Chains A and B, each alone.
Chain A
Amino acid sequence: MAELDAFRAETRAWLEANCPPSMRTPMPDDEIVWGGRRARFKNPDSKLWLERMAARGWTVPTWPKRYGGGGLAPEEARILEEEMRRLNCRSPLQSFGIWMLGPVLLEYGSEAQKAAHLPAIARGEIRWCQGYSEPEAGSDLAGLRTRAVPQGEHFLVNGHKIWTSYADLADWIFCLVRTDPLAKKHEGISFLLIDMDDPGIRTRPIRLISGASPFCETFIENVRVPLDNLVGGLNNGWTIAKKLLEHERKMIASIGERQRGAERSLAQLAKTYCGARDGKVADAVLRDQIARHEIDQRAFRLTQRRAAEEAKGGAPGPASAMFKYYGTELNKRKFELLLQCLGTQALGWEGDGFAAEEKRITREWLRSKANSIEGGTSEIQLNVIAKRVLGLPD
C-alpha cells in the first residue's frame, strides 16, 4: 500500500511537471493525436506531450519496458489513469495499434515481430488499421475471401476489405486473409501484417450518414507480403481474430466514456432546452428517462470496474461481448435523449442558426448508430453471450 501511495505521489509530481497546460484542456477533434508516418500536430504541445509520455512508456503503461511500455502493474496503471483524469490530462495517443494489435502481438507474436512493431506503436510512429470485414463478410466474418498465396519468400495477397477505419491515414494494416480455401471456413484463415506503402493498396473513404468518413474501402491487388509477417502460424488466424475482437469490443464499449471535458450533461441540456422547475427538469417524463439512462450508465461503469477487479488486469473474456453490446446501446440511447432535449435545435446540418455544440450532437447522434454495428453487431454480441457465457446450444 505504501509503495502504491509513493507511486501515486511520484506520478502526480511528474504529470504536473511534464503535462503542458494546453494538454489539460478539453480536446477538440482536430487535435486528437493518432500518430503515424504522416502524423500532423496542430498544437505543437501535443507532439511534446506524446514524446514525453512515450519516453516514459506511458502511452502503453502495462506493456513490458523492452517493447516501449511502462512495465506497470495493473494497480499502478489505474493510479496513472486516475491521476491523469485528476489533472484533466489528454490522452497523448489514440491508436488501434495500442488498443487492438498490441495485445495480440504480445500474446501471439514472434520475438522479432514484437521487437519490430510494438515500440513503433508505443511511440506513435506507425499508425495501424484493421482489415477484417469484406463486402460479402460482415457479421459472417469467417466467410472472408481475401486470398494470400505463398510464393517463395512471400504471400501474394489479393482482396477487398471494407469498413477499414482510417485506412486512408494508416501506414500498416493487420489483415485476416484466406490461406486455405479448401479447409472449413474458420480453419483456413491467417493473420497477416501488411505495409500499406505499396502501389497495390488503394483506399477509398466511405461517406456516412453523419457526413464524416471514418471508414474506408481498401483494395489489395497483387501485394507481396514477407512470410515473416504471418502472426501465430498458418491457418491459425481465427483464434487471433477472436482474441483481437475481444479487445476491440472492450474499446468500443467505452465509446460514451471519452473524456470531452467541458461537455454539458444530459440533465443540464434538458433544463436549458425544456425548462426547469424548482431545480428539476420540468418535463417529468423526460426527467424519468434521463434518470433511467444515468442509472444504467452508472451501473454499467460499476460493472466495467468490477470486471477489471475480478480479472485483476487480465485480458477481457467472452464477457467483453456484454460490454460491447450494452455500452453501445447505452450510447445510442444517450444521443436519442439528447435529440429529445434539443428538439429542433438538434436538427441543423450546417451553417447559421445552430450552435457548434448542437451541430456536434446531431452529427454524433448519427455516428452513434454505427456503434452497435462496427466491431460485431449487437445481435452478434448477443449470440456470443448466449453461446459462450450461457452455453445455449447452436
Chain B
Amino acid sequence: MALVLDSETALIRDTALDFFEKRAPVSALRKLRDDKDALGFSLPLWRQMAELGWAGFLVPEAYGGADYGCLGLGQVMEAAGRTLAASPLLATALIGASALALAGSEQQKAAHLPALARGERLLALALEEGAHHAPFAIAATARPSGGGFRLDGEKRFVLDGHVADLLIVAARTSGAPGERRGITLFLVPGDARGLTRTRTLMVDSRNAARLSLDGVELGADAVLGPVDGGADALDPVLDRARAGLAAEMLGGAAAAFERTVQYLKDRKQFGVPIGSFQALKHRAAAMFCEIELARSAVLAALSALDAKSSDTGALASLAKAKAGDAFFLISNEGVQMHGGIGMTDEHEIGFFLKRARAAEAAFGDGAFHRDRYASLMGY
C-alpha cells in the first residue's frame, strides 16, 4: 500500500492542481450560483476534463477509458476539492463509471462506458430516500411487469440527478426496507416516462435532485447486477464514492486551512499579526495535525481500493470519517478566525463551510462510518 505518490500519479496531481486553480476557482462556483445555472456546472470544463482522461479514469481500456485507478482519480478529486469545483467527477466519473464497470453486463458497459469516458454521458446514483445515508433502507419498489419491471418510489439527494442522462436507481424487488437482501439496481434513462426530476437548491450550490418514480416501465435488460443482490453490487461502488469524496473533502479542508493560516499572518490587530496570538496558534497547529491524519487515511483508502485489499471497507470508512472530522473542524475554525469578514457572502471561506456539511452528509457521516468501522472490526 503506497502512502507516497509515484512520479506518474504526482504528475496527475500537479496537472489537476494547476487545472482547477486556473479554470475553476471558487469564483466559478459563485458565478454558477449567482447565474442560477441550469446545469450546475460548466459543460466545456467537463469536456476539458474528459480530454485529460479524468472522466474515464475508472473505465477499462477496452471501453475507451484510461483505467488509471482510484488513487489517480483521488488526486483529481482532491485538487477539485481545493477550489470547490463543481463537475460530474463524483457522480459520473467515480460512481457511475464504477457501478457500470463493476456490475454491468458486457452490453451495458459497451453501451455507456465509451460515451461516459468521452464526457458525453452523465450518470447519477439514486439511492437515498431518507434524511440520512442508509443504503438498505430502500422502500422504492420494482415489481415484475410484462417481461421487465415497473418502478415506483421517491428518491432524494440524487447528486447530478436533474441533469443525468442515465440514472442508477436502487429499488426493492423483495424483502422489507432495512434488509440487505432484496435490493436491485436499475438503469433508468433520464427521460423515462413516469420519472419526474426536481432540482433541489442546496446550501453548497452543488447539484442534487429529488426523483419521483411513478410506474416507470423498464425492460429486463435494465437490471444492473444481480436481482435482489443490489446491495452487494453497491458495496464496492459506495466504498469508492466514500474514499473519493474523502479526497475531495481533504482538498477542501487543506485549502480552507491554508487560507486561514495566511489570514492569521496578514490580519493585524493590536498592532501585530493575529497569528502571533497563542490562542490562535495552538488551534492552527491542532488543525494541521488533523489534515495530516486525514491525508494518510485518504491515501490508504484509495490505495487499498486499487489493490483490492480485504480491509477496503474499513479504510473507506476511516477515510470518510477522518476527512469529515478535519473538514468540519477547519471549516468552522476558518470562519471564526476570519472574524467578521468570514461571515460575509463576499468572502470565500463560507463556501468551504457549506460544502463541508453537504459532503459530510453524502454517503455516510462520521457517526455512520464509526458505526460501520466498529462493526467491521468486530465490536
| Contact partner, B370, options A288, A386, A393, Cβ 8 Å | A288
- The verdict on A379 contacting chain B, using a C-beta distance below 8 Å, is yes
Interface pair B297/A382, CB less than 8 Å apart = no
Q: Mark B337-379, 1 if CB is under 8 A from A, else 0.
A: 0000000000000000000000000000001001101110111
| 30 A-B pairs with C-beta separation under 8 A | A279-B378, A280-B374, A281-B374, A288-B371, A290-B374, A290-B379, A291-B370, A291-B377, A294-B373, A295-B317, A295-B373, A302-B300, A305-B3, A306-B4, A322-B289, A322-B292, A381-B285, A383-B281, A383-B282, A385-B288, A386-B281, A386-B282, A386-B285, A389-B285, A389-B288, A390-B288, A391-B265, A392-B273, A392-B276, A393-B272
| Contact partner, A385, options B289, B295, B296, Cβ 8 Å | B289
Q: Which of B118-177 contact A (CB under 8 A)?
A: none
Q: A362 to B377, alpha carbons, bound, how many Å?
A: 26
Q: Which residue of B lies closest to A312 (CB)?
A: B4
User: Min CB distance, A310 to chain B, in Å?
Assistant: 6
Interface pair B265/A393, CB less than 8 Å apart = yes
Interface pair A299/B322, CB less than 8 Å apart = yes
Q: A280 to B375, alpha carbons, bound, how many Å?
A: 7
- The verdict on A296 contacting chain B, using a C-beta distance below 8 Å, is yes
Q: Which residue of A lies closest to B373 (CB)?
A: A291
User: Min CB distance, B94 to chain A, in Å?
Assistant: 22
- The verdict on A163 contacting chain B, using a C-beta distance below 8 Å, is no
- The verdict on B321 contacting chain A, using a C-beta distance below 8 Å, is yes
Q: Other than A280-B379, A287-B374, A390-B281, give 10 A-B pairs with Cβ distance below 8 A.
A: A271-B379, A291-B373, A296-B293, A299-B293, A302-B297, A303-B293, A322-B288, A382-B285, A385-B289, A393-B265
Q: Which of B1-23 contact A (CB under 8 A)?
A: 3-4
Q: What residues of chain A lie closer than 8 Å to B379, measured between beta carbons?
A: 267-268, 270-271, 279-281, 287, 290
User: Min CB distance, B254 to chain A, in Å?
Assistant: 13
- The verdict on A86 contacting chain B, using a C-beta distance below 8 Å, is no
Count residues of B near A (Cβ-Cβ below 8 Å).
38
- Of residues A294, A295, A303, which shows the largest number of chain B Cβ atoms within 10 Å of its Cβ? A295
Query: What residues make up the interface of A, taking CB atoms closer than 8 Å to B?
Result: 267-268, 270-271, 279-281, 287-288, 290-292, 294-296, 298-300, 302-303, 305-306, 309-310, 319, 322, 325-326, 379, 381-383, 385-387, 389-394
Q: What residues of chain A lie closer than 8 Å to B285, measured between beta carbons?
A: 325, 381-383, 385-386, 389-390
Q: Which residue of A lies closest to B293 (CB)?
A: A299
Q: What residues of chain B lie closer than 8 Å to A381, measured between beta carbons?
A: 285
User: Min CB distance, B284 to chain A, in Å?
Assistant: 6
| Contact partner, B3, options A296, A300, A302, Cβ 8 Å | A302
